[in-house]
Amino acid sequence: MAKLKGKVLAGKVLVKPHEAEAKTASGIIIPDSAKEKPRQGSVVLTGAAKKDEEMEVKAGDTVLYGKYAGQELTIDGVDYLLISQSDVLYIA
């Protein structure tokens, strides 16, 4: 992945969502229309800490976030999700 130009504002996190599962555990192929949006991804960039909230996530972390969290963005043909740190539910 190429280095991104620009920066993320305070308290925000830029996430590259993981791919949705294409098969069930028993081997059934899931069609695109039935796939759920992934709710986990890898942190690409983080903004600075807010005055009243320290930044706990860092680039490279895998995070779980809410189903309807964030704003979808496409930068240089790659899909990302911009979320608030408060939307992060779990850091793996």
CA angle 70, 75, 76 (to 5 degrees): 160
Domains along the chain with CATH numbers: 12-19+28-91 (2.30.33.40)
pLDDT above 80: residue 22? no
Describe the strand order of the beta sheet including 40-46 as a list of residue ranges. Answer: 71-75, 78-84, 12-17, 40-46, 62-65, 88-91
Residue 34: φ, ψ to 5° = -100, -5
Instruction: Determine the residue type at 15.
Output: V
Evaluate the CA torsion angle 1, 66, 57, 90 in order and state its sign: negative
Percent of the chain scored above 90 by pLDDT? 28
Q: What secondary structure, in 3-state letters, does 44-73 show? A: EEECCCECCECCCCCCCCEEEECCCCCEEE
Task: Say what the pLDDT of residue 41 is.
Answer: 93
Task: Say what the pLDDT of residue 81 is.
Answer: 92
Question: Residue 42: pLDDT band by 50, 70, 90 thresholds?
Answer: very high
